[in-house]
Chain A
Amino acid sequence: MSKVETETAASAKGHAPDESAPGPDTSRSWVQIISAQGILIAFAVFLLGFGLFSDRFLSFENMESVLRSSSIIGVMALGVTVVVLSGNLDLSVGSMLSFGTVMVVDLHDKIGAAPAMGVMMVAVLALGCINGFLVGILKLNSLIVTLGMLSAIQGLTLIYSGGQNVDIAPSTQSTTWFRVFGRGDIAGLDMPIIIFAVLAILLHCAIAFTAYGRRVYAVGGNPTAAVFSGIRRGRVVFSTYVISAACVGFASIILGSRVMGSQNNVGQGYELLVLAGVILGGTSLLGGSGSIFKTVVGVLILGFIQNGLLLMGYPYYAQWIVTWIVIILAVWLDIAGKRGRLFSPIA
């Protein structure tokens, strides 16, 4: 053992087990396999489990109802996913939804449906620009900025509405074309579901297949390397907040149209449900990893949990506890998959 074998040693490798074809996943641990497919497995288990308990659960009507009730959170979660992919958070979407909905409903009777939607969109996008400016250009911490915006926008909403809830006049409710966004359907499929689906496909393509999407992933994965690669990080981050705000604008239209009125705190708590959908889908809060598609799955799981528990006769607030448990499990499995074992080897 004190002499180095040189060239001949290479032949000793012949004895070694074949290591050709680094095929995928051959030596992954079960933890990693479950983790990689975890969210889809969980999804299937939920569907089957609830399906056994209730024959109504898997019916088309019920599916449609779940999709419909998930669509507002879903649309918002699409935008928040883009923000999270770039390595930031957006907690302001909840009160932004209140703001947008109150505004579009209030303006509907005053200036008409189309101008109301236009003005609301511009206002909400302006809020997104403020977020984007503070986080992207001034490089402030996104948690603090958007948490602050969460309460600031709630205040703005109350100032706008004077503390009153707003309604579309009963006389116009049944005649305005504005009702189509929340109550309409195409070939029997509810409009909110269609809006959610179309936005999901558009954003998925934009993030997964365009140069812009690649920049978002790069900024989230390693902001410094992104800058060294000539990416204007500030602009990318700025744009993600504008996208997030735009999604909130669409969600406001669906919600306003569906309810034909709005409480001035209607979006309260949505920011957490939205974030839950994103995390549950498997998009990393650290940025740089995840996808729009994952978020769609995450949001649907949230929706099915809620629906299944209701069908099983639990009160609606039971879902908050169950959702929390499911998120913890999802996050744990995600981490476990990355380190290849369930428990951290480091105390």
Chain B
Amino acid sequence: MSDHGDDTGSVLRLEKIVKTFPGVRALDGVDFELRPGEVHALMGENGAGKSTLMKVLAGMYQPDGGRIFIDGLRCTLPTPIAAKEMGVILIHQELSLAEEMTVAENIFLGELPRSRFGFVDWGVLDKRVGDILKMLNVDFGPRTKVNRLSIAKKQMVEIARALTHDAKVVVFDEPTASLTDAEKVVLFDIIGDLQARGVGIVYISHRMEEIFKISDRISILRDGSYRGTLITAETDEDAVTRAMIGRSLDLSRDAGDVARPGDVKLAVEGLSCGSLYQDVSFKLRAGEVLGFYGLVGAGRTEIAETLFGLRRPSAGTVTLNGEAVQITSPAEAIAHGLSLVPESRKEQGLVLGMNCRDNITLPQIDNLTSGPFVSGPQEVAIYEKYRERLEIKAPSWRAMVKNLSGGNQQKIVIGKWLSMKPDVLIVDEPTRGIDVGSKAEIHNLIRELAAQGLAVIVISSEMPEVLRVSDRIAAMHQGRLVTIFERDAVTEDDLIQAISGIGVHAA
């Protein structure tokens, strides 16, 4: 490729981008090209280099090699501000809003319109922000405080911010991770709108159905190197998956994988926690996976947190291994053979600045001592066991978990709780933000664990996941357990109706 010439018609072109970190070649000569008005999906497993590439594009990382062209002109993006000025806007998974300020202030932060005396001109501000919000079809106003908004709505604020700039390239990094279906529709409308204005869209997501719905082309990264670009209309999910992971995935349940449940391990009777959830009853047997399906806020996570001693129930009883228990702290829950893989691995699951080994052994560190001191060899043995078992990819046990990809981080959290050899394992959103490869591995693992006699609760907002791993599925709607379905006797429609509060009630 020459320096120019074939740039006609591309708003952004990356050429042979290289970026290395200590011990890792995160990007190994990656090419990427984006045309105006195009939605170009970027796919790859976690750790494939997508986020790194986008951070290079947003001026947060400096590439060690390669060239960047915007509108055919070679440029460097030394800082995020420079990138913004070049018209590259990144909308992250992690939002960066000033929580205590209003929507309008956030959108025009740093460039608030001023009146003659140098004060903020609120009238103009409200009008301009109001126009944008109207276009986005949202139900909050310019003067709403950001900390009152849900994550989805905060994301809308970020998008509104991008719209006020003269964006040439907008990068969406997993934008639908926390959106409801209705909100997704709005987002896709907005993306369509941006396309119509000739903005180039880079769309990063693990969700195939979205990619196939909105993208024009799909570029694929694997292990930091570029694996080519597909035209969406001419390919299918299987081809994309194969390109991403180098093999084909079987997403269906293994035949003959019928659980033979044993004794009741956990029995919950009439459990309530204030306004969060009410009158929840279920039984969980050894060797069984019980899925909890429902919308965010339906009370699923709160039930898990109550069982694990993080919340006090206002009513109801919990029986573990036939013994009525009152668990008031995670330490007690652990002592009773309960493990919880929490919803948010970064906030709740991991000490990011600690190494892999120390994270895995943290809950049982008291039992790994010889004399007064922690025994390094015992710790390493446990780490190595679960590294092999879960195929964790880390340079060594000394690697800080913050340097691992999301999938490997999640495996560390799972390893940490498996190493406690629990009787009951609760996993909350086990595959959120994780690539398809790791996802399948984690699903298989859950089935394997159940087959070995573990009692498992899986909380998930993804229907395919619940259907794939569960033996029975508890559908929740607004704090109530609507009904428990048998996996083999349930349809997607049943589940959707149950969690939206339509139709059948407790069977």
Any B CB within 8 A of the CB of A270: no
One of A2, A209, A225, A227 near B373 (C-beta < 8 A): A209
Any A CB within 8 A of the CB of B230: yes
B368 to chain A, nearest CB (A): 7
Q: Which residues of B contact A2 (CB under 8 A)?
A: 228-231
Count residues on chain B whose CB falls below 8 Å from chain A CBs: 57
| B231 lies within 8 A of A345 (CB) | no
Residue of B nearest to A346 (CB): B80
Total A-B pairs, Cβ < 8 A: 135
A136 to chain B, nearest CB (A): 14
Any A CB within 8 A of the CB of B260: no
| B351 lies within 8 A of A4 (CB) | no
Any A CB within 8 A of the CB of B288: no
A218 to B359, CA, bound (A): 9
Q: Which residues of B contact A22 (CB under 8 A)?
A: 22-24, 395-396
Residue of B nearest to A235 (CB): B331
One of B31, B243, B351, B374 near A225 (C-beta < 8 A): B351
Q: Which of A221-242 contact B (CB under 8 A)?
A: 221-222, 224-232
Q: Which of A22-45 contact B (CB under 8 A)?
A: 22-28
| A205 lies within 8 A of B373 (CB) | yes
- Give the size category of A's interface with B: 35 or more
Q: Which residues of B contact A227 (CB under 8 A)?
A: 310, 330
* A289-B353 contact given A211-B365, A228-B342, A345-B59, CB 8 Å threshold: yes
A3 to B231, CA, bound (A): 9
| A210 lies within 8 A of B373 (CB) | yes
Residues 256-280 of A, flagged 1 when their CB comes within 8 A of B and 0 if not, give 0000000000000000000000000
One of B78, B227, B310, B352 near A221 (C-beta < 8 A): B352
What 10 pairs across the A-B complex have the smallest Cβ distances?
A22-B23, A221-B351, A4-B228, A230-B331, A209-B373, A4-B243, A22-B395, A230-B334, A211-B365, A230-B330
Question: What 11 new A-B contacts, CB under 8 Å, besides A22-B22, A346-B80?
Answer: A2-B230, A6-B243, A16-B29, A28-B22, A217-B351, A224-B348, A226-B351, A226-B362, A288-B354, A346-B81, A347-B79
Which residues of A approach B to under 8 Å, CB–CB? 1-7, 9-10, 12-13, 16-17, 19, 22-28, 205, 209-211, 214-215, 217-218, 221-222, 224-232, 288-289, 345-347
Which residues of B approach A to under 8 Å, CB–CB? 20-25, 28-29, 31, 59-60, 78-81, 220, 223, 225, 227-231, 239, 242-243, 246, 308, 310, 329-331, 333-334, 340, 342, 347-354, 358, 362-363, 365-366, 368-369, 372-374, 395-396, 416
Task: Provide a sorted-by-A list of 16 A–B residue pairs whose CB atoms are within 8 angstroms.
Answer: A2-B230, A4-B228, A4-B239, A4-B243, A19-B25, A22-B24, A209-B373, A221-B354, A222-B351, A224-B348, A226-B351, A228-B308, A228-B349, A230-B333, A231-B362, A346-B79
